[in-house]
């Protein structure tokens, strides 16, 4: 078992090492009372330029003296004793339907502790191997960082089990420091929350352990560092103390929170004023009550957002070009004549490595209770597949490939190709992409009850191994079939949208050209150079 954990830790370090520097992830938390299925949901868009692989860690028994190797971005950081038994981890959900996600908020650079053993990812991974519930996960993480130190400067970690959803925010204590500073808040039943690369917890109850847990040093450390003055008359805010925001960060992060809230609770009329980042308005609340119950497909829809229909609509500004492409090429910050500027940062981004939504269902047997809806690359131009925590293996195309080499055998590259090619004539090609996307997801969600009923029958009439084999085969076959359909979509897009033409049903190229609005803008800027006269030119004497 030691070899498994070592190899998997190495793998995850290599594939996720880019993400922390991008500080570009989004997570949505839905309490069971706000969920259509009556169980907690969390999502995690892991954004960064990397090629993800699906991996699982088997459950295992360990002998005294066995050690767990903790690896950071640059290799082995240290070892800690194994516990007698660890649980199966399936991506970022374990066999007990405990799931996690994260977003990096950075915070104060001086609080990074290079001597701390844990960064967020190995901390999440080892906790999933050792905890059954969200509350137990908080205990495990608190003990680990207290004993071995935390090296990150600021992280929001979403945690959900079969009953509760929690948001943990944690920061390091600086070089030579011990432990970590953290606070965890339970999302109240019937409410939702979201986090997007900015600390979200301001004030919190100090005497309500059922709903809030925190490190003993959470306030005194801020006082010691000069981040908070007790005599100021202002209430303590974890966010203001440990992640004082800039205009740039608010626009980069809270604009995503605003868009999620405006879409899930339109009746509350959340203003974009604060999301403009110019010191006006008030921060958005940590959690809200949605207008309607939220399902998995609703959460997926939130991740497919470029602020369409708002003043920040990324399909309608100048840089979207003639065909309204919302992707913005990095770097996001740029400068002209000593003035700094930034592009919008949407929820849907081409930088996404993977996105998932977890659903924990205690009323179902463990073989099919935990389900992860998983998609690779940009959620706006991908498709999501169901993966059950009881599965024994993953679809092969989701375990292959590397960033340095294009491969049609890799699901990530197949999806990535379609997304990149669609940018050439986005307003046309996105319709083809969304049509197939809807077909695939309608079929997957529409078949879920039938598939799970069949698995239940196998559990009743045969051994659990039959149900596991059935679910595994179904998920692999449907996933690989849909990857092949996406390959064919890519081939069809190249054929139909070739050299600026659009080929009609008879496979004949048609000149479609540019939208009138774009032509009008071109005339305003360079009309004299483009203008021509239609009458014949008179002969001139030589």
Mean pLDDT across 120-127: 96
Q: Where a domain ends, among 246, 268, 292?
A: 246
- 78 within a domain of the structure (yes/no): yes
Mean pLDDT across 153-168: 96
**Residue 55: pLDDT over 60:** yes
Mean pLDDT across 415-441: 98
- 237 within a domain of the structure (yes/no): yes
- 326 within a domain of the structure (yes/no): no
Least confident of 9-18, 67-76, 499-508: 9-18
Provide the percentage of residues in the chain whose pLDDT is more than 90. 85
Nearest to 70 by CA among 60, 87, 82: 82
**Residue 109: pLDDT over 80:** yes
The answer to whether the beta carbons of residues 84 and 134 sit under 8 Å apart is: no
- 181 within a domain of the structure (yes/no): yes
**Residue 523: pLDDT over 90:** yes
pLDDT in tens, 224-246: 999 999 989 899 999 999 999 88
**Residue with token string 């046309």:** 428
Nearest to 220 by CA among 192, 250, 179: 179
- 234 within a domain of the structure (yes/no): yes
- 242 within a domain of the structure (yes/no): yes
Euclidean distance between CA atoms 124 and 89, whole angstroms: 11
Q: Kindly indicate the confidence band of residue 506, based on its pLDDT and cuts at 50, 70 and 90.
A: confident
Give the domain range for residue 143: 2-246
Q: What pLDDT, on a 0 to 100 scale, did the predictor assign at position 24?
A: 80
Q: If you average pLDDT over every residue of the chain, what do you get?
A: 92
- DSSP, collapsed to helix, strand or coil, labels residue 495 as helix
pLDDT in tens, 254-264: 999 999 999 99
- DSSP, collapsed to helix, strand or coil, labels residue 3 as helix
Q: Kindly indicate the confidence band of residue 539, based on its pLDDT and cuts at 50, 70 and 90.
A: low
- 396 within a domain of the structure (yes/no): no
| Neighbouring C-beta atoms of residue 60, cutoff 10 Å | 17
Nearest to 285 by CA among 347, 159, 194: 194
Euclidean distance between CA atoms 466 and 535, whole angstroms: 79
pLDDT in tens, 163-190: 999 999 999 999 999 999 999 999 999 9
Q: Kindly indicate the confidence band of residue 540, based on its pLDDT and cuts at 50, 70 and 90.
A: low
**Residue 446: pLDDT over 80:** yes
Nearest to 354 by CA among 370, 373, 369, 336: 373
- 374 within a domain of the structure (yes/no): no
**DSSP secondary structure code for residue 405 in this structure:** B
Mean pLDDT across 395-407: 97
Mean pLDDT across 196-213: 96
Mean pLDDT across 283-300: 98
pLDDT in tens, 317-349: 999 999 999 999 999 899 999 999 999 999 999
Q: Domain count of the chain?
A: 2
Q: What is the DSSP string of 199-242?
A: ----S--SS-TTTEEE-TTTTHHHHHHTS--GGGSPPP-HHHHH
């Amino acid at each position: 078992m030691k070899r498994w954990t070592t190899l998997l830790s190495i793998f995850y370090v290599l594939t996720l090492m880019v993400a922390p520097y991008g500080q570009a992830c989004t997570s949505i938390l839905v309490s069971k009372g706000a969920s259509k299925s009556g169980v907690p949901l969390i999502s995690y868009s892991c954004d960064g330029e990397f090629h993800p692989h699906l991996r699982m860690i088997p459950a295992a028994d360990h002998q005294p003296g066995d050690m767990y190797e903790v690896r950071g971005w640059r290799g082995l950081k240290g070892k800690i004793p194994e516990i007698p038994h660890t649980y199966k981890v399936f991506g970022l959900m374990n066999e007990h339907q405990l799931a996690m996600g994260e977003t990096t908020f950075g915070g104060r650079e001086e609080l990074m502790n290079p001597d701390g053993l844990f960064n967020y990812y190995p901390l999440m991974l080892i906790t999933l191997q050792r905890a059954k519930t969200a509350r137990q996960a908080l205990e495990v993480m608190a003990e680990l960082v207290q004993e071995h130190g935390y090296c990150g400067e600021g992280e929001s970690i979403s945690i959900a089990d079969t009953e509760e959803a929690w948001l943990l925010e944690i920061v390091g204590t600086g070089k030579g420091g011990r432990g970590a500073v953290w606070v965890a808040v339970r999302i109240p039943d019937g409410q939702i929350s979201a986090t997007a690369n900015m600390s979200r917890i301001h004030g919190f109850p100090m005497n309500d352990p059922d709903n809030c847990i925190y490190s003993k040093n959470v306030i005194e450390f801020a006082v010691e560092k000069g981040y908070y003055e007790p005599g100021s008359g202002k209430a303590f805010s974890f966010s203001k103390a440990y992640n004082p925001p800039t205009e740039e960060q608010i626009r980069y992060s809270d604009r995503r929170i605003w868009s999620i809230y405006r879409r899930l609770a339109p009746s509350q009329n959340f203003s974009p004023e604060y999301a403009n980042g110019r010191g006006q308005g008030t921060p958005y609340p940590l959690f809200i009550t949605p207008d309607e119950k939220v399902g998995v497909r609703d959460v997926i829809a939130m991740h497919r957002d470029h602020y369409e229909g708002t003043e920040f609509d990324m399909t309608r500004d100048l840089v979207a070009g003639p065909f309204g492409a919302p992707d913005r090429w990095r770097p996001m910050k740029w400068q002209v004549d000593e003035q700094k500027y930034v592009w919008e940062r949407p929820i849907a981004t081409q930088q996404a490595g993977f996105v998932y939504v977890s659903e924990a269902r205690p009323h179902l047997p463990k073989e099919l209770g935990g389900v992860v809806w998983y998609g690779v690359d940009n959620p706006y131009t991908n498709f999501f597949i169901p993966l059950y925590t009881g599965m024994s293996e993953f679809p092969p195309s989701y375990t292959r490939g590397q960033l340095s080499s294009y491969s049609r055998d890799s699901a990530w590259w197949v999806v990535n190709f379609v997304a990149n090619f669609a940018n050439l004539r986005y307003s046309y090609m996105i319709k083809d992409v969304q049509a197939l996307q809807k077909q695939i997801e309608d079929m997957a969600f529409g078949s879920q009850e039938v598939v799970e009923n069949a698995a239940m029958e196998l559990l009743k009439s045969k051994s659990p191994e039959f149900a596991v084999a059935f679910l595994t085969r179904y998920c692999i076959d449907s996933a690989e079939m849909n990857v092949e359909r996406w390959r064919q979509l890519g081939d069809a897009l190249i054929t139909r949208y070739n050299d600026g033409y659009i080929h009609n049903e008879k496979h004949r190229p048609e000149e479609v050209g540019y939208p009138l609005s774009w032509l009008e803008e071109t005339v305003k800027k360079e009309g004299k150079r483009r203008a021509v006269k239609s009458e014949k030119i008179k002969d001139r004497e030589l």
